[in-house]
Amino acid sequence: MSATTDHPLIDRHQETLQRAVSALAERDYWTPYPEFPKAYGEDALAVGGAAFAGLKGTTRLAAEGDELVGPDADAGGETSPFGEALNIAYGYRSPDALIAAATAAQPAWAQASPLLRAAVCAEILARINARSVEFGFAVQHTTGQAFGMAFQAGGPHAQDRGLEAVACAYAEQTRIPAKANWTKPQGKRDPLTMEKEFLVRPRGVALLIGCNTFPTWNGFPGFFASLATGNPVVVKPHPRAVLPLALTVEIAREVLAEAGFDPDLVQLAPEKPGEGLAKTLATRPEVAIIDYTGSTAFGDWLEENARQALVYTEKAGVNTVLIESTDDYGHALANLAFSLSLYSGQMCTTPQNLLIPRGGIATDQGSKSFAEVVADLADALGKLLGDDAKAAQLLGAVVNPGVRQRIERAEKGEYGELALAPRTVTSPEFPDAVIRTPALVTLDAAKDALPGECFGPVAFAIAVDSADHGVELLRETVRTRGAMTAAAYTTSPEVEAKVVEAAVDAGVSLSLNLTGGVYVNQTAAFSDLHGTGANPAANAAYCDAAFVASRFRVMEVRRHS
């Protein structure tokens, strides 16, 4: 149970870990992982592309004798939203086998020091980082993100969130010292003295349930938080996005084995079609921690049924923007148009309901009526997405039939009057991909119910009575529907104070007057929290102490000195 104080991986990563811990306290920009492919070598794109190409059609087993799932789509295999079937088969283990192997692997990892565990995690991340381009392609062809975004969000930015979780977990595990001496004066008598040891004990088997759209970005925080606190992790990927997490698991197993630990500390749990493996695993008594990103329905099911576990969920909400006034109308609209378009609005953080006073707004270009604001936003979208090749690089592809159906409903006017019809984009590179520009629908809060969650590229411009009315609708939406993000445009200190109060009260973070190169749907690790855990959209945030502090417990051993 003694702390391991020297190990080559500690030597290699201790400085980065310390820097990451201080970054968490400073919250300025920091990352060890460059976000441009060229930083990984002049031929990084070619090398990574070839590596990805080499993955297609392979059979990926953790151990000989494992069953297989996939590779064909009918049997649950992955097909790129850009068109091609990946034809990859993955090793399959039964729930009993997964749990047994995880449980058997745990003791030595539990007894390793928090620093050694953090260093092993940092090494896993370093090796993932070195293969960022390959991960970028894997994320692109499972999620439908365009490569540029898939590389950044699925590569270095996901790695940032993973390292953030490792640093946060390491910091929390070492708040209590490993050893302490206790000396209590007793007046004229000898003092009472005790020697105390404090031992971090992991909670049990952790289960990561991955999502379709951000398998690594949303998967790494829980994965690394659980692993760094000593828990074995069973990784149950979304059936449409297995590859990025399968690569993660392969790399983790390789590093764990090299460091002398049982590779079954990390196992992939792909499912057979229709198996419902997540439910089976989530309710196993040995599963003590669950991290989940995905639909509200299944998140609610987990919270209701996986009672034996700590359950961290990121579900969905209705992200709201109040547009009350601006001193930079053009850039405000450009910023919003980008936010609505990025990855076809298929982000849990994409704005959806845009609340605009019915009487119009004040801008640096004069007063703009509600109709003008809507038309100008439609124009901004049109300009941003006018060129098919460029549009495809921003929009990516439609990730699944549910999103496609919602666009088609919007197109038919089923959600309300269309201010901007969704356009079909043809990618020269991927002619088979379904690529759609956002639909902009107008509603009036005086007669229309506020739309609930409508995941995908459908935004609603909603006329409200006044700024105050908008503030109250934002508050109510966050409270009742949840939200991952909120934003406001206002030049009025009074309105700003009200919207800040409403956002904090309702439990959502707020971006104010974004007109530059930062978008409401993006958060930066080590600085921004992702989610708040304070509204129905998510019960946790990446990454605060609450996200890691309950994943382990501290046992004390004390004796007289």
| Residue 40: partners with Cβ closer than 8 Å, 6 or more residues away | 34, 48, 130, 132, 133
Residue of the chain from 6, 42, 64, 184 that contacts a copy of itself (CB under 8 A): 184
Tell me how far apart the alpha carbons of residues 414 and 57 are, in angstroms, rounded to a whole number: 41
Taking the least distance from each CB to a copy of itself, the nearer of 266 and 520 is 520
Query: If binding is defined by CB under 8 A, does position 364 make contact with a copy of itself?
Result: no
How many angstroms separate the Cα of 187 from the Cα of each of 181, 277, 400, 428, 433? Answer: 19, 63, 74, 85, 81
Choose the binding region for a copy of itself from 145-153, 358-366, 444-452, 544-552 (rule: CB under 8 A): 544-552
Instruction: Render 91-115 in DSSP notation, one character per residue.
Output: EE--HHHHHHHHHHHHHHHHHS-HH
Taking the least distance from each CB to a copy of itself, the nearer of 390 and 558 is 558
Query: If binding is defined by CB under 8 A, does position 534 make contact with a copy of itself?
Result: yes
- Residue 428's CB: how many other CB atoms inside 10 A? 8
Query: If binding is defined by CB under 8 A, does position 274 make contact with a copy of itself?
Result: no
Cα dihedral 475→480→484→487 (10° resolution)? -20
Choose the binding region for a copy of itself from 318-326, 375-383, 449-457, 547-555 (rule: CB under 8 A): 547-555
Question: Closest Cα partner for 550 from 202, 242, 267?
Answer: 202
Choose the binding region for a copy of itself from 199-207, 213-221, 237-245, 460-468 (rule: CB under 8 A): 199-207
Query: If binding is defined by CB under 8 A, does position 255 make contact with a copy of itself?
Result: no
Tell me how far apart the alpha carbons of residues 99 and 287 are, in angstroms, rounded to a whole number: 8
Query: If binding is defined by CB under 8 A, does position 300 make contact with a copy of itself?
Result: no
Report the site for a copy of itself in 162-181 (rule: CB under 8 A).
Answer: 172, 175-177, 180-181
Residue of the chain from 121, 425, 510, 525 that contacts a copy of itself (CB under 8 A): 510
Q: Return the H-helix or E-strand segment holding 22.
A: helix 8-26
Compute the least distance from the CB of residue 169 to a copy of itself, in Å: 11
String of contacts with a copy of itself for each residue 82-121, x by CB under 8 A:
-------------------------x--------------
Query: If binding is defined by CB under 8 A, does position 327 make contact with a copy of itself?
Result: no
According to DSSP, residue 75 is labeled: G
Taking the least distance from each CB to a copy of itself, the nearer of 184 and 188 is 184
Instruction: Using DSSP, state whether 436 is helix, strand or coil.
Output: strand
Query: If binding is defined by CB under 8 A, does position 493 make contact with a copy of itself?
Result: no
CB 351 within 8 Å of CB 392: no
Tell me how far apart the alpha carbons of residues 158 and 33 are, in angstroms, rounded to a whole number: 10
| Tokens 């969000």, located at residue | 153
Query: If binding is defined by CB under 8 A, does position 291 make contact with a copy of itself?
Result: no
Residues near a copy of itself, by CB under 8 A: 1, 24-29, 107, 172, 175-177, 180-186, 192, 194, 196, 198-199, 201, 203, 500-501, 503-505, 507-518, 524, 527-529, 532-534, 541, 544-546, 549-550, 553-560
